[in-house]
Amino acid sequence: MKNTTVRFAEMPRAELEEKLNGLRAIYEDYKAQGLKLDMSRGKPGSEQLDLSMAMLACVNDYDAANGFDTRNYGIVDGLPEAKALFADILGVEAENVIVGGNSSLNMMFDYLAQAYSTGLCGCAPWSTQGEIKFLCPVPGYDRHFAVTQHFGIKLIPVEINAEGPDMDVVEELIKDPAVKGMWCIPMYSNPTGITYSDATVRRIAAMKPAAKDFRVMWDNAYCLHHFEETGDKLLPLYPELVKNDNEDMVVMFTSTSKITFPGAGVAAMAASPANVADTKRRMSVQTIGCDKMNMLRHVTYFKNIDGVKEHMKRHAAIMRPKFAVVTEALERHLGGTDVASWHNPKGGYFVSVNLMEGCAKRTIALLSEAGVNMTPAGATYPYGNDPKDSNLRIAPSYPSVEELKVAIELFCICAQIACVEKCLEKN
Amino acid sequence: MKNTTVRFAEMPRAELEEKLNGLRAIYEDYKAQGLKLDMSRGKPGSEQLDLSMAMLACVNDYDAANGFDTRNYGIVDGLPEAKALFADILGVEAENVIVGGNSSLNMMFDYLAQAYSTGLCGCAPWSTQGEIKFLCPVPGYDRHFAVTQHFGIKLIPVEINAEGPDMDVVEELIKDPAVKGMWCIPMYSNPTGITYSDATVRRIAAMKPAAKDFRVMWDNAYCLHHFEETGDKLLPLYPELVKNDNEDMVVMFTSTSKITFPGAGVAAMAASPANVADTKRRMSVQTIGCDKMNMLRHVTYFKNIDGVKEHMKRHAAIMRPKFAVVTEALERHLGGTDVASWHNPKGGYFVSVNLMEGCAKRTIALLSEAGVNMTPAGATYPYGNDPKDSNLRIAPSYPSVEELKVAIELFCICAQIACVEKCLEKN
C-alpha cells in the first residue's frame, strides 16, 4: 500500500545481524518492564461505556407508544419503535426488521441453526443436503468462522481486497450448489477496515448462486462507527437486491453492542418478507419475546437515527486518538519498509497488518513473552490457518492511549525482529 | 376429587331441558354486557410488575463482585453472583449453573436444538438417529410441546396424576431407545397445579432409560411461586440423581420471568458438569455473553434467595385472592356435580379443570362468543389433541379481581351449558 524503500529482504547478512542486535536490546528493555497490555479483542474502553449511562435512567413509564406494557410477555419480533429505529440504521422498512436480544452473533447463529435443522423458506435442512460450504472473505472475523464451523460447514477462504471480497472468485464459487452462503462485514470490515465499494455491493446484489437457499450473512456491525469526520459510505444493499429480484438472498444484522453496552445492547436483523416470516415462525417457538424494556430504553434515549449519530461522535472523539497512535507508530517504524503493509481505516475497531510472509506467529510470540496480548496469528482465517502466516489484527479500543503507545511501539519492534530473523534464515 | 352428588348424566330429559333454559337465560344476560376479558395466558398482572420497579435503579456501579465490568463483553455462562443465586434456587452448586438471557424457554429450545444438530455429550445428533420420541405429561404446557414438535420429534402423552407423571407408564416407555426425553414441570405443574411427590422425584432420579442421550427437561418455573402460607414442598432432584449416578440425565431450568419482569427477567439452567461443559461449548460459539447488567440488577436487588422469597410473598398477596375467586366459584357452581373436577393449587399460575368428556371445546366456544378469551381447548395436549375433549386451563393472574369474578361466573355457566347439552345429546 506504500512505496517500499527499505527492503530487509535484500539487506546483506552483516547489516541484518547488526539490526537484530539493536532491536533485541530495545525488546529486552521493554520485556524488563513486566508489561500487561491487551490489544486482543474489539472491546470498547470503559470511557466509551460511560457515554451511555444516562440511558439506564431515561425511561419512567415502560409502556410502548402503542400502550403495550414492555415489562410483560409478548411481541416476539420486537417493539414497533425499535423496529423503526433499526430500519433506518439498516436501510430497510420497519416490516423487514426483527429486533432481538443483546447479541447479533446470537441472531446469526440461530439463523444458521435454523437453516441447518429445519431449512430456510421451504428448502430442505442443510443437515440433509450433504456437504455444505460457506465463503469466508479473508482476513475476516473469527467468530463468524466459528459459527459455520460449529455446524460442520466447510469454510472456503476468499481474498478480500480494497473493494471487498474478490468478486471474480465469488461469482465462480457460487456456481457450486453446495456453497450456501458468504460472510460479509461490508463497512469497516473486521479486521481490514475497508468498506465495500459500490461496485462490489452491486455485484453482490446481482449474484445468482446455484443454491436457492444461499444466504449472504451481511453483518453491518460498524455501520455508524466512523471516527474520521468524513467516514466511508456504503451503498445501501436492500434497494439493489430489490432491483435484482434478489431480496431473499441476504440477511442483515447489526447491534448497539458498540453504541451503548456490549453486554446489554440490542441486536436486530433485517431481511425480506419471506425470511422475516421464516424467522418469526422459529422465534415464536423459541421465546415469548426478547428484552423489550431494554429496547424501550434505547429508543427513548436516542429518539431516532440522528440521536444515534450524535452519540457516535462522542465515541469517535475517544477512538480517533487511539487509532492515530497506532497508525502513526506503524508509519514511523514500518512505513516504506517491506516489514508490513496496512490500511488506515476511517472507522470500525481494527487495524489489520500484513507482515512479511512467515512473520505473524513469531511476532505474536515475542509480544506475548513481553506481556502484550494480541489476537492470535491465524485467527483471521478459517480454521486459524493463515497460509502465509502474515496477517495480524490490532484492536486499539480497549487500552488507554498511554498503554496503547507502549504496546504499539513494542509491536513495531517485534514485527521488525521477526522480519529480520526471517531474512537471516533465508539469507 | 369430590363426592359427586348432582349427576347431570343421570338426570331425566325434561329436567335437563329446564336446566338448560335457565342457564341460557343467564348466559344471554352476560353476552349482552359485551365483555372483553382474558384468562388465556399465565401473564402476571401489572400490579405484580410494579413490585420490581425499584430493581431498575438499585445498581450504581456496574462492576461485578470480582471487579468485572458487566457493561462490557465477556463471561458467557453468567456472573458468578448470579450463578450462586440460581444455584440456591435450583438446589445445586454454582458450578452446575449457566445463567442466560431473559427466557428459560429459549434456553430449553437451544438445548434441544443442540441435541438435534450436533448431539449431546458426544452422542450422535438426534437429526441422524431416525425417529425421536419425547414423553409429554398431560395435561401440560403447550410451549414445551411446540419446541419438541418444531424439531419433528414425536410427542407421546403420559397421564399426570396427583403425584406427577404416571411413572409405571414412563418406566415402560423409556425402554424404547427412540424415547429421548421427557418434559417435567415438577412444582405447581402447568396446568394441573400439582407438585411431584417425593416418590415420583425418586423414581425419576432412578430411571435407566435405554437412550444414553435421554434428557429430563426439568422446568422448575414455579419453584418459589407459592401463594398459600404453607406451599407445596418438592424433593430436591439433584442429590437424588447423584445417589443414582444419573446426573447427566436431567437439565433443570428456571427464570425470574414471574418474579421480576416476564419481558426482562433472567433465566438459568442447571445440570451436571458434562452437560454444563457441552452447553458452554455451544454457547461460546453462539454469543459473547448474555445481559450481565440485568443479572447484576437482580442480584443486587435480591441479595440472596431469602430476598427472593420475601419478594414472592408480595406476589402471593396479589395472587391468593385471585385464585380464591376462581376456586370459590368453581366450588359453588360445580362442586359435587359431574360437570367438572379440579385441583385447588397452593401456588403456580393455573387452575386446571377437567370437564365432562366432550365439553371442553363447546365451553370455550360459548365463552368466546360472550367475550371471554381462554387458552384453547386441547392446548394442554400434544398436537392440540385432548382425546377426551375435557381439559381446560384457567389463568387467573392477568385480569383484576373484579374482572375475574365475572369471567369465572360465566365460565361456570358455560361449562354447565356444555355439560347439559352433551347429556341431552346422549339422552
pLDDT digits (tens, 9 = 90+) for B69-93: 999 999 999 999 999 999 999 999 9
Write the CB contacts of B8 (distance below 8 Å, at least 6 apart in sequence): B16, B19, B337, B338, B339, B356, B419, B420, B423
Section A68-91 average pLDDT: 97
Which residues in chain B are closer than 8 Å to A285, comparing Cβ atoms?
109, 143, 146-147, 150
Among B57, B69, B146, beta carbon nearest to A285: B146
Residue to mutate among A63, A73, A128, with most B CBs inside 10 A, is A73
Nearest residue of chain A to residue B42 (CA atoms):
A73
pLDDT at B2 over 60: no
Question: So what's the pLDDT on residue A41?
Answer: 85
B105/A287 CB distance under 8 A = yes
Among B110, B117, B264, beta carbon nearest to A71: B264
Nearest residue of chain A to residue B101 (CA atoms):
A101
Smallest Cα distance from A77 to chain B, Å: 13
Smallest Cα distance from B124 to chain A, Å: 13
Contact (CB, 8 A) for A411 and A394: yes
pLDDT at B209 over 90: yes
Instruction: Please state, in angstroms and rounded to a whole number, the distance separating the CA atoms of residues A15 and A236.
Output: 52
Residue to mutate among B61, B62, B68, B71, with most A CBs inside 10 A, is B71
Q: Please, what is the end-to-end C-alpha distance for chain B in angstroms?
A: 25
Nearest residue of chain A to residue B266 (CA atoms):
A291
Could you read off the pLDDT of B411-420 as tens digits, one per residue?
999 999 999 9
ipTM, 2 dp: 0.96
Question: So what's the pLDDT on residue B4?
Answer: 64
Percent of chain B with pLDDT over 90: 96
> Longest C-alpha distance within chain A, in Å?
78
Smallest Cα distance from B402 to chain A, Å: 21
Smallest Cα distance from A185 to chain B, Å: 17
pLDDT at B381 over 80: yes
Smallest Cα distance from A419 to chain B, Å: 34
Could you read off the pLDDT of A118-140 as tens digits, one per residue?
999 999 999 999 999 999 999 99
B294/A289 CB distance under 8 A = no
Question: So what's the pLDDT on residue A3?
Answer: 58
A264/B118 CB distance under 8 A = no
Question: So what's the pLDDT on residue A4?
Answer: 64
Cα torsion A14, A20, A21, A23 to 10°: value is 150
Could you read off the pLDDT of B394-412 as tens digits, one per residue?
999 999 999 999 999 999 9
pLDDT at A17 over 60: yes
Residue to mutate among B287, B295, B298, with most A CBs inside 10 A, is B287
Among A70, A103, A128, beta carbon nearest to B287: A103
Lowest-confidence segment of A30-39, A178-187, A313-322 by average pLDDT:
A30-39
pLDDT at B333 over 90: yes
Could you read off the pLDDT of A316-375 as tens digits, one per residue?
999 999 999 999 999 999 999 999 999 999 999 999 999 999 999 999 999 999 999 999
Smallest Cα distance from A330 to chain B, Å: 28
Section A10-32 average pLDDT: 97
Residue B316, amino acid = A
Contact (CB, 8 A) for B127 and B368: no
Residue to mutate among A38, A285, A298, with most B CBs inside 10 A, is A285
Per-residue pLDDT band for A6 (boundaries 50, 70, 90) equals confident
Question: So what's the pLDDT on residue A1?
Answer: 44
Section B53-70 average pLDDT: 96
Smallest Cα distance from A110 to chain B, Å: 8
Nearest residue of chain A to residue B78 (CA atoms):
A263
Among A102, A113, A116, beta carbon nearest to B291: A102
A285/B147 CB distance under 8 A = yes
Per-residue pLDDT band for A40 (boundaries 50, 70, 90) equals confident
Which residues in chain B are closer than 8 Å to A49, comparing Cβ atoms?
69, 71-72
Describe the crossing of helices A292-302 and A305-334 by its angle, rounded to 10 degrees: 80
Could you read off the pLDDT of B356-376 as tens digits, one per residue?
999 999 999 999 999 999 999
Residue-averaged pLDDT of chain B? 96
Question: So what's the pLDDT on residue B323?
Answer: 97
Nearest residue of chain A to residue B117 (CA atoms):
A117
The verdict on pTM exceeding 0.90 is yes
**Type and span of the H or E element at B319:** helix B305-334
B289/A263 CB distance under 8 A = yes
A105/B46 CB distance under 8 A = no
Section B323-340 average pLDDT: 97
Show the 3-state SS of chain A.
CCCCCECHHHCCHHHHHHHHHHHHHHHHHHHHCCCCEEECCCCCCHHHHHCCHHHHHCCCCCECCCCCECCCCCCCCCCHHHHHHHHHHHCCCHHHEEECCCCHHHHHHHHHHHHHHCCCCCCCCHHHCCCCEEEEEECCCHHHHHHHHHCCCEEEEEEEECCEECHHHHHHHCCCCCEEEEEECCCCCCCCCCCCCHHHHHHHHCCCCCCCCCEEEEECCCCCCECCCCCCCCCCHHHHHHHCCCHHHEEEEEECCCCCCCCCCCEEEECCHHHHHHHHHHHHHHCCCCCHHHHHHHHHHHCCHHHHHHHHHHHHHHHHHHHHHHHHHHHHHHCCECCEEECCCCECCCEEEEECCCCHHHHHHHHHHCCEEECCCCCCCHHHCCCCCCEEEECCCCCCHHHHHHHHHHHHHHHHHHHHHHHHHHC
- Find, among B305, B218, B289, the residue nearest to B256 by Cα: B305
Instruction: Please state, in angstroms and rounded to a whole number, the distance separating the CA atoms of residues A230 and A235.
Output: 15
Section B241-249 average pLDDT: 98
Question: So what's the pLDDT on residue B397?
Answer: 96
Per-residue pLDDT band for B1 (boundaries 50, 70, 90) equals very low
Which residues in chain B are closer than 8 Å to A257, comparing Cβ atoms?
73
Section A87-111 average pLDDT: 98
Could you read off the pLDDT of A281-296 as tens digits, one per residue?
999 999 999 999 999 9
Question: So what's the pLDDT on residue A57?
Answer: 95
Smallest Cα distance from B333 to chain A, Å: 32
Among B71, B128, B262, beta carbon nearest to A263: B71
Which residues in chain B are closer than 8 Å to A56, comparing Cβ atoms?
56
